[in-house]
Structures are given as C-alpha cells and as structure tokens.
Amino acid sequence: MRATLLALALILGAAAPAKARAGETRCWYENGAIVVAAAGGDIAGDFILDLSAPRSLLHETRAQDAGIDAPQVTLPLRLAGERLGDIPFEVADLDARSAGFLTNIVGVIGADALAAHVIDIDFSPCRVGVWTAHARRFAVEVRAPLRWASGVPTLAAAIADGARARAGRFALDTASAGVRIAAREATLSRAPPAGVDPASRNQPPARLRALSFAGLLTQNAPASLDPDVPDGVAGGIGNWVWSRYRLRIDLRHGWLELRAQP
C-alpha cells in the first residue's frame, strides 16, 4: 500500500555486524532508531540511544521486575565495554516508545549519560563507539559546532517548505527516522488521513522541502511534528539524514564531525 505523504508548512512568527573493537559495540538500526545493548546496574538489555532526550529512562516494567518502585534510580551504566558513571534513570512507561521494535526495549540512554564523552556512530554496519578518554582517529569531512540547549546537544540548521524558511537550533535525534519539527513552528498542509500520526517518530508522514546545516543541503526529507520540543530547540534531525554519514559527536569539546558513507 502506498504511503501518504503530506507537505509541511512552516509557521512564521512563533547489515551483518562486524567485530567490535574495545570501546565499540554493534548496534541495530531498527524502527528509525539506534538500539544498543547496555546495562544499568544489573538490568541489562537493549536500550534506545537518544541524544535528543535530556534524561535517561528506564522502562517501569523492568524496574518493577528488579524491585525498584521509586520514580528515579541511579545506576552504573555500562555501554560498549565502558563504564559511563552513575546515571540517574527516570522510571517511566515506555510502551509507546517501544512500539514497533522487534526487540524488548529496556530503556533510553539520553544525553545526560553521554555528556562527557565522544560518540562515534556508523550505520553500515551499525556500530557505536564510546570514548571516555582518547578517541581513535576520525577522518573529518564536515565539522559543525554544537551548543547545549534544554539539556541536549544542538546544531544550527535551517528548514524550508519552498516559500518560507526558518532557522534555529536542532537536536541530534538518534531515535527518530526523520526530521522532527516543533509543532509551534510548523503545521501539516492538510489534515492527515485517519490512522496517520502527524507526530510519528518511526513513520513520519510529511516531506520537508529542504534542510540545511554546516553547508550541507538535504531535500525531501521525511518529517513529523513534535508537540513536546522545549523552548530554545526548534526540533530534531533524525536518522534518515544521519544514516548518510559516519558521525563523531564530540560532546566533550562541542563538535559534530561527519564524513560521507562510502
């Protein structure tokens, strides 16, 4: 069945896994998101890696199974063979975030857990590197400064629907398929058909005429609205864009570095 694509109107005013090295782990690019195996204390399993989330989350079902009944719990987080420190996990209902995944989602690793590190992401094959000290060499083709806003790393970007354009700070959304745009910044050109979610993370229903950042131009990117974007952030750039590149996200020094996939 052919998917329905909607135009997005801006509002002016408001593969097979390779053997991982030390500090690296294989990942899954599934349901529009990057999923990694990790452990929060004794709670191990598959976590969504989401740099657009200011706080790390633990699925309340797994928390209850582990005897945790508090709304927040601090656990030592291990990812890619590295201990990332004691991370405060917010216990939350993640049924909606888990929908559509073949694997059982234990939680979400957010920007708070990764803020002091350098993160490498490669989509083909899917692999995540976490460098707590010296990162390995990375051949940079494009470099853009990052700035923290509302608890997440953001970069300057501009979006356009053809006649109108808007610039702002966009989060690095490693847990969504397309470009997510704050509902206060845009609207769909027409009402979506029944059953189509205008805010879908994994099946964005609209198309964005143009997205530009760091001198790069992307056209016709899938897009959806996000009703929960905090002030100071215009939206998030998702994996339909990032999967074209190998990424180094240097949160220690505030840089996003890219090179094109071969």
Provide φ and ψ at 112, rounded to 5°. Answer: -65, -35
Tokens of 257: 């570095």
Residue 210: CB atoms within 10 A of its CB come to 15
Q: Could you tell me which residues come within 8 angstroms of residue 23 by beta carbon, excluding any fewer than 6 positions away?
A: 80, 81, 82, 129, 130, 131, 132, 136
Whose CA is closest to 57, among 36, 76, 71? 71
**Alpha carbon separation from 184 to 14, 91, 162 (Å, rounded):** 6, 28, 19
| Strand runs labelled E in 69-151 | 72-79, 82-92, 105-109, 118-123, 126-131, 142-145, 147-149
Q: Give me the mean pLDDT over the 239-245 stretch.
A: 97
Number of H helices, E strands in the chain: 4, 21
Which residue bears the tokens 């998030």?
236
Tokens of 92: 């939350």
Q: Give me the mean pLDDT over the 41-54 stretch.
A: 97
CATH class given for the domain over 24-131: mainly beta
Q: Give me the mean pLDDT over the 66-86 stretch.
A: 96
- At the second CATH level, the architecture of 6-12+140-260 is Beta Barrel (2.40)
Where does the chain hold its CATH 2.40.70.10 domain(s)?
A: 24-131
- Give yes or no for residue 4 having a pLDDT over 60: no
Q: What percent of the chain has pLDDT over 90?
A: 81
Q: Give me the mean pLDDT over the 219-239 stretch.
A: 95
**Alpha carbon separation from 109 to 33, 63, 78 (Å, rounded):** 12, 15, 11
Q: pLDDT by residue (tens digit) across 87-144?
A: 999 999 999 999 999 999 999 999 999 999 999 999 999 999 999 888 888 999 999 9
